[in-house]
Amino acid sequence: RFFEATGLVDAGGLRHKLRSLDKPVERHAYEKLLGGIAGLLIPVLFTLVLAAAGVSVSPALTILAAVGLGIGGFMWPDIRLSEQIDRRRRDFRYSLSAYLDLVTIILAGGGGLETALQTAADLGDGWAFAEIRAALRSAQLTNRTIWDVFDELGEDLGVPELRELAASALLAGDQGARIRASLSAKADSMRANQTAAIEAQAEAATEKMLLPVITLVVGMILFIGFGVVQAISTPGTLP
């Protein structure tokens, strides 16, 4: 409440981000506070241990380390937040693609749309399928269309693919064949995007591996070269 009142933190934006992690904003604030306190106390405790062992440490150095680690510990949950959200949303996209495959299979077998959506959600496991089941249950309880609830869920989780699915399904109307074709096309599109993303990640990982290899080769060349130069420059070392 303090940071929200000062305007230093966009509480609404933070809550929207944390929604993807199913994490209350109070827990995030607790982690930041705990990290800041731990960062402040570690240098002080370390200095006390050294003092008990008879080693003196400059108070200015202790204060500087405590302030630096305190700020770092306070900001650490925010630094990790973007990576966690991206991984969470990526996992949801994978689950959504599998969910759409199950729905199209059930529809192709002659099942109704609502039956296919509910059965496919019940067959899946994990937090993403739990979110889908909760959305279906919310649509039943509030007498809203499933696609409206899916659109809202996509906005809350920051998954545009789910919102695009809801929009295409709404355009398809009540015709089962058109909806089945729309869901199948969306599943194919998501699989293609996921394959491209996986290939890009693999290429990026391969490029990252070049740096350690180059560093190792350069280090070996320098090590061998230093020995050769040392042998040449030192009289009597060569036969």
pLDDT value of position 239: 53
Q: Which of these, 176, 182, 197, 181, lies nearest to 113 by C-alpha position?
A: 176
Q: What angle do CA 126, 12, 90 make, to 5 degrees?
A: 30
Q: Where are the beta strands (DSSP E) in 5-152?
A: none
Residue 100 CB partners (closer than 8 Å, separation 6+): 165, 183, 184, 186, 187, 190
Distances (CA, A) of 152 to 33, 39, 149, 159, 227: 32, 39, 5, 10, 67
Phi/psi at 174 (5° precision): -95, 5
Residue 66: both structure tokens together: 């405590």
Cα 124 from Cα 69, distance rounded (Å): 43
pLDDT value of position 37: 92
pLDDT value of position 7: 64
pLDDT tens digits for 86-104? Answer: 888 888 888 888 888 888 8
pLDDT value of position 117: 85
pLDDT tens digits for 49-90? Answer: 888 887 777 888 888 988 999 898 888 888 888 888 888 888
Q: The tokens 């400059």 sit on which residue? A: 58
Q: Up-side HSE of residue 18: CA atoms within 13 Å toward CB?
A: 15
Q: Up-side HSE of residue 144: CA atoms within 13 Å toward CB?
A: 14
DSSP assigned state of 143: T
Task: Report the chain (239 residues): mean pLDDT per 10 consecutive residues.
Answer: 67 76 83 90 88 81 89 86 86 87 82 82 87 90 87 87 82 65 76 76 75 81 75 61
Dmax over CA atoms of the chain, in Å, equals 95
pLDDT value of position 177: 64
Residue 205: count other Cβ atoms within 10 Å of its Cβ.
9
Whether 92 and 154 have beta carbons less than 8 Å apart is answered as no
pLDDT value of position 174: 57
Cα 29 from Cα 34, distance rounded (Å): 9
Cα 181 from Cα 186, distance rounded (Å): 9
